[in-house]
Amino acid sequence: MMREAGDKNRLASLKPRLRIDFGEGIRLGPGKIDLLEAIIETGSISGAGRKIGMSYRRAWLLVEELNTLFTAPVVSTSAGGAHGGGTEVTPFGLNLVAAFRRLEARTQGAIAEEFSDFSGAIAPPQARKP
């Protein structure tokens, strides 16, 4: 069956929001992964927090949670000195980010495949009832 461009656009707008539950209220989701990516970009927890609109305290707590979730560190920090401290995502953390993003991409592919028959039935945003 031939699909119209609008059908493809509606299907492409379906996005997964993944959260992996490790039990006891500990989850790995897009917020922590975004934080790790911001740390990679900025080299600091405070800079990463600013970049994604998160307080330093919240960012620090999430980094601590990530570092206790696994047996290998996800983020390493060095104390400040004459040239300031620094933060970096470890190789383990880089692999974690990559795995999460791959899982998102695979999930996006599964959504496209499973919902392709429904793409023509997805109402455009302006037609949806509040």
Residue 16 structure tokens:
């997964």
CA distance 81 to 99: 34
Q: What is the DSSP string of 79-124?
A: ---TT--EEEE-HHHHHHHHHHHHHHHHHHHHHHHHHGGGGGGSPP
- Reported residue count of the chain is 130
Domain ranges of the chain: 18-118
64, 56 in Cβ contact below 8 A?
no
16, 111 in Cβ contact below 8 A?
yes
Residue that the structure tokens 């970009």 belong to: 41
pLDDT in tens, the chain (130 residues): 444 555 566 666 777 889 999 888 889 999 999 999 999 999 999 999 999 999 999 999 999 999 999 999 999 988 765 566 789 999 999 999 999 999 999 998 898 888 888 777 777 777 777 6
The CATH number that domain 18-118 falls under is: 1.10.10.10
